[in-house]
Structure 1
Amino acid sequence: MYDDASNALPLYVIDLRAWISDWYDHAFKVGLVHPPFTLDESTADRLEGYFKAGLTPAEGAIAFFGVVH
């Protein structure tokens, strides 16, 4: 049997990681980020806030990279 280390992670963490991955894919597709992209702790915390607020990854990218008025 294959032992996947992610099986030990809480579902919330798995969902958050998938959301951040989708966020990155969208941000890359529309030209907001370019590899290599380093996800530091403050960025991860900010993205987690968007995830908790129920934003889609695309909405999270817009919120993250948008102009603050």
Structure 2
Amino acid sequence: MIKALDSDRIVKDLPQHIIGWTKAWYEQALAANFVSFPFRVDDEMVKRLHQYFREGLTPEEALRACVDDVKQ
């Protein structure tokens, strides 16, 4: 069970975690030529990335899912 103090720490750490996750996704997306610099993300991509993050996908898995979505 998560104690109140633990949940507070998790909430405070979440922004740093999602920032790191997003940076890792972006670096992999650049390396795979899925995006190019400078990359401007649209609202749909933000929603998609947030969903993948919440589902627990790694940045690499999220990149594969994004590529698959674009191919469809």
TM-score bucket of the superposed structures, by smaller chain: 0.7 to 0.9
Identity %: 30
Distance 1:45 1:13 in 2: 16
Larger radius of gyration: 2
The count of corresponding residues between Structure 1 and Structure 2 is 60
Matches within 5 A, 1:46-57: 46-57=48-59
Distance 2:23 2:60 in 1: 11
Of 6, 12, 16 in structure 2, the residue corresponding to residue 10 of structure 1 is 12
Q: Residue 38 of structure 1 aligns with which residue?
A: 40
Distance 2:44 2:13 in 1: 22
Shift of 1:10: 2.4
Shift of 1:40: 3.2
Aligned-CA RMSD value: 1.6
Distance 1:18 1:30 in 2: 18
Segments of structure 1 that go 5 or more residues without pairing to the other structure are 1-8
Q: Which runs of 4+ in 1 moved over 6 A?
A: none
Q: Which structure shows the higher helix fraction?
A: 2
Segments of structure 2 that go 5 or more residues without pairing to the other structure are 1-10
Task: Please give the TM-score of this superposition, normalised by the length of structure 1.
Answer: 0.74
